[in-house]
Homo-oligomer: A and B are copies of this chain.
Amino acid sequence: ADPFTIAGTTFASRLIMGTGGAPSLEVLERSLLASGTELTTVAMRRVDPGVKGSVLGVLARNGIQVLPNTAGCFTAGEAVLTAKLAREALGTNWVKLEVVADERTLLPDPVGLLDAAEALVDDGFVVLPYTNDDPVLARRLEEVGCAAVMPLGSPIGSGLGIRNPHNFQLIVEQAGVPVILDAGAGTASDATLAMELGCAAVMLASAVTRAQEPVLMAGAMRHAVAAGRLARLAGRIPRRHHAEASSPTAGQAALDPERPAFPAG
C-alpha cells in the first residue's frame, strides 16, 4: 500500500492515462484496464459529442475518475472557458490545464498557463497544469495554488523520454505538491526513470495507444511505474567509477562476528 494523494483524493495507481490515439474504443478500454489507471484525461475540445459519451461511458463503467483537459486551447481565456464548460458538463472541478503556444510544438505557453492557473484556482478548481520542465515556472504554479505540477519530459507524442532529468531533480527537490511526468514517455524505461527521479506519478497516452500492441504496452507501463516507485523507496546503490566485487572478502568475513558471511554470487 503506497497510495498518493492529489488535493485530498487518494489513488492506488500512479499511472494517469490519456485517451487519444487508440485504434478503437475496445482497444482503449482493454488498455485502460491493463494499465490499472484510476484517473484518465478526456479532451473537452476536438471531441465529437456522440463519441465523447462513449469514452465517458468506458471510464464510468470501470470506475475510473475522469480528468477533463483543455487540449487545443491556445490562450488563457480559451482554457478557462473550456474548464468551466467541463465542470458543468462532467460535474468535476478537476482540470488538467493545457495552454499551448502553437500547433507545431504543442509546448506550453508559460505566461498564459500561469494566468489561467491562477484564475482557475481562484474559481475553486483543482488545477493540474501541463508545464515545461522549468523549475521556476513549476514553483510559480505551485505558489498560485495548483494541486500538482505536470512537467513535460519532451514534446507531446515525440516519444523522446525525459530529455532533461536534471530539471526533474530540481523540480522534485523543491516541490510541495506531486510532480507528475506529462508528455514524452515513449516506452517503459521512461516511466521507470520518472519515478526514480521522484515523480509521484506518470501521465501518458500515445506511448500506449499508438504502440503496436497497446494492451501489452499498458501492462508494461503499469509494471514500469511500480518498478520506479519501489526503486525510489528502496534507495539505489551509489554509482562508482570502478568495479566492486559483490563479495570481495566474503571468505574472510566469516571470522567477523559483526558481519555474518555467506557465499557470494
- Residues of A at the B interface (CB closer than 8 Å) are 17-22, 24-25, 28, 40-43, 45-48, 50-52, 54-56, 67, 69, 71, 101, 103-111, 114, 132, 134-137, 139-140, 154-160, 163-164, 166-167, 169-170, 186-189, 191-193, 196, 205-207, 209-214, 216-217, 219-224, 226-231, 233-251, 253-254, 260-265
The count of identical subunits is 4
Shortest distance from the beta carbon of A35 to any chain B beta carbon, whole Å = 11
What residues of B have a CB within 8 angstroms of the CB of A19 in the complex?
262-265
Closest 3 pairs between A and B when the two form their complex, measured CB to CB: A20-B264, A212-B235, A20-B246
Chain B, Cβ-Cβ closest to A67: B265
Chain B, Cβ-Cβ closest to A41: B265
Cβ contact within 8 Å between A262 and B52 = yes
Shortest distance from the beta carbon of A159 to any chain B beta carbon, whole Å = 5
What residues of B have a CB within 8 angstroms of the CB of A243 in the complex?
104-107, 155-158
